[in-house]
C-alpha cells in the first residue's frame, strides 16, 4: 500500500482544493492530509481562517479522496509525520516547488509538486468577498 501525505489550510474549500486532493490520491492508495490548526495559521502563517479547524476537518473528512486527517501544528513536523505514518510520497502544489525537496534525503519520501488549478484560489475568493487573510 502506497501512502501519500499532503498539507494545507483548506479554508473556503473549493474545486482547486478538490483537484489537489484528487491528484495526490492518484499517486497512492491512502491519503493523509495535514490540516493546519487555527493557532498555526495565526501564529506562524499570519492568516486567520474563515472556518475553524474543526469545521475544515469536517469538510475534508467528507471528501472521498481523504483517508486520514492529522493536525499540522508547526512547519517542522513534516519529517516526523512522514516517518510516523510511513508515507511514501509527499505532495504539494507547485507554488511550493523546491521548498520541501530536503524531505527526500531526510526521510526517503518521494516529493512531488502538482500543478495548481490556475483559475481559483482561497486568496482570490477572499478578495472577491472583500475579506482579508488576517
For the chain, the farthest-separated pair of C-alpha atoms sits apart, in whole angstroms, at 44
Write out the three cell numbers for 105: 534525503
Strand partners, 44: none
Give CA–CA dist 119/125, Å, rounded.
11
pLDDT greater than 60 at residue 133: no
The SS3 of residue 61 is helix
Of 81, 91, 87, 95, the C-alpha closest to 123 is 95
Mind listing the pLDDT tens digit for each residue in 70-121? 999 999 999 999 999 999 999 999 989 999 999 999 999 999 999 987 666 5
- Which ranges in 1-134 belong to alpha helices (H)? 15-25, 38-43, 53-61, 78-84, 102-107, 122-129
Q: Which residues are catalytic?
A: 45, 47
Give CA–CA dist 116/88, Å, rounded.
21
User: Is residue 8 within 8 Å of residue 47, measured between CB atoms?
Assistant: no
* pTM summary value: 0.87
Structural domains for the chain: 3-129 (3.40.50.620)
pLDDT greater than 60 at residue 56: yes
Q: What is the pLDDT of residue 105?
A: 97
Q: In this structure, are strands 30-36 and 110-114 parallel, antiparallel, or unpaired?
A: unpaired
Q: What is the pLDDT of residue 97?
A: 96
Amino acid at each position: 500500500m502506497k501512502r501519500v501525505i499532503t498539507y494545507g489550510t483548506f479554508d473556503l474549500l473549493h474545486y482547486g482544493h478538490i483537484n489537489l486532493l484528487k491528484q495526490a490520491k492518484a499517486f497512492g492508495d491512502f491519503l493523509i492530509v495535514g490540516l493546519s490548526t487555527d493557532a498555526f495559521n495565526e501564529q506562524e502563517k499570519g492568516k486567520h481562517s474563515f472556518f475553524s479547524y474543526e469545521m475544515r476537518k469536517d469538510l475534508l473528512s467528507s471528501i472521498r479522496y481523504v483517508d486520514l486527517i492529522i493536525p499540522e501544528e508547526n512547519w517542522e513536523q513534516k519529517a516526523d509525520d512522514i516517518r510516523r505514518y510511513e508515507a511514501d510520497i509527499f505532495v504539494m502544489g507547485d507554488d511550493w516547488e523546491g521548498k520541501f525537496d530536503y524531505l527526500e534525503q531526510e526521510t526517503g519520501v518521494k516529493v512531488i509538486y502538482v500543478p495548481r488549478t490556475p483559475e481559483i484560489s482561497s486568496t482570490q475568493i477572499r478578495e472577491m468577498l472583500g475579506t482579508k487573510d488576517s
